Amino acid sequence: MKIAPLMNKFATDPDLETVLVHTGQHYDHNMSGQFFRDLGLPCPDYYLDVRGGSHARQTAEIMRLIEPVLDEQKPHAVIVVGDVNSTVAAALVAKKLGIDVIHIEAGLRSFDRSMPEEINRVVTDSIADLLLVTEESGRVNLLREGISAKQIHFVGNLMIDSLRRHLDCALRSNVCSRLGIGAERFGLVTLHRPANVENECQLSGILQALRCVSEQLPLYWPVHPRTKERLQQDSVSIPERIHLLDPLGYLDFLCLEAKSAVVFTDSGGIQEETTMLGIPCLTLRDNTERPITIECGTNRLSGTSPETILQAWRETLASPKNGGLPPLWDGQAAARCLAVIRGHYADLINSSSYVSKYSQAHCGR
């Protein structure tokens, strides 16, 4: 969802050559292949087929496989987005090869070093040459960490570019009729972070709270492969009003999200999407690296215990947050990214002795 607007915008610029690298970190068909089709992304120029494994193994494999790609392409810059293992792996390899690193969605901080994503964010930002931020907290965090203000640019949110572009199409999806959802109110659940899924006590507490919520409204839960494996291993009993689904494509999921009464999630991107859509969001975590979704949006931190989740649920019922639109979440983030990159490499672009090339390192949601 972050790469598609960039690829579309860069395709309109004759001075830029883009090379799309799909690491394969997200390899489930519905979580990767279907997203490429829904978002109109071109086939990647390189597919590394990394797949799963521990954080160390996956990061190392991405580094091993992307190095010959960068050696072959010799790009002037590698663009990485977000905070996944592909982000930090591609950034490290590029920097060691003397290639500029551009980090989009830079500066976000949960201030929780137990989160693998937090380590990825901090490391990537510390070596990036250009840092493009989605919200003011990102700029403040980077300045506090000693990053020069000249390297930081507030561009808005690429996730929102995709949402705005595809929402009308998503709302025409027949996913509700396929799932037998009528006019009744329903909630949507996503859960994938290792801290929630792989901690038996934490997962049990979240499920206990969701069982209680499901007595008031049905819940639909597209289950992440990691979560599905855990539920099967533990032989977890799920009440019938919590409907477990296979992973959904982008348009089907966006349709459910837009039509839901509430979303329970541990996903950063969904915190942003629900803020844009005006849908109440209960984030199943004790922290968030996207504070603008709480300050300006519809998001509440619910924690992970049954007591705190149900308290947040009661507060949402009693006093739902209306929320508002954060600055620059206007669907033009990709255009601003392009403008920043063109400005940074203006001398190179204008030189008759060089052809500007940009390499895109990417993994999906």
Residue bearing tokens 């005006």: 278
Q: The sheet that has 281-283: what strands, in order across it?
A: 242-245, 219-222, 187-189, 262-265, 281-283, 299-301
Contact, 290 vs 108, CB < 8 A?
Answer: yes
SS3 for 85? Answer: helix
Q: Which residues contact 237 (CB under 8 A, 6 or more apart)?
A: none
Write the burial class of residue 262 (CB in 10 Å: 0-12 exposed, 13-18 middle, 19+ buried). buried
DSSP 129: S
Residue 151's CB: how many other CB atoms inside 10 A?
A: 16
- Among 141, 132, 159, 173, which Cα is nearest to 277's? 159
To the query of whether residue 192 is one of the catalytic residues in this protein, the response is yes
* Residues paired with residue 188 on neighbouring β-strands, in sequence order: 220, 263
Whole-number Cα distances in Å, 293 to 43, 296, 333: 33, 6, 17
Could you say which of 29, 76, 103, 192 is catalytic?
A: 192
Q: Which residues contact 244 (CB under 8 A, 6 or more apart)?
A: 221, 223, 231, 238
Write the burial class of residue 285 (CB in 10 Å: 0-12 exposed, 13-18 middle, 19+ buried). buried
Element (H, E) at 219: strand 219-222
Provide the annotated active-site residues: 192
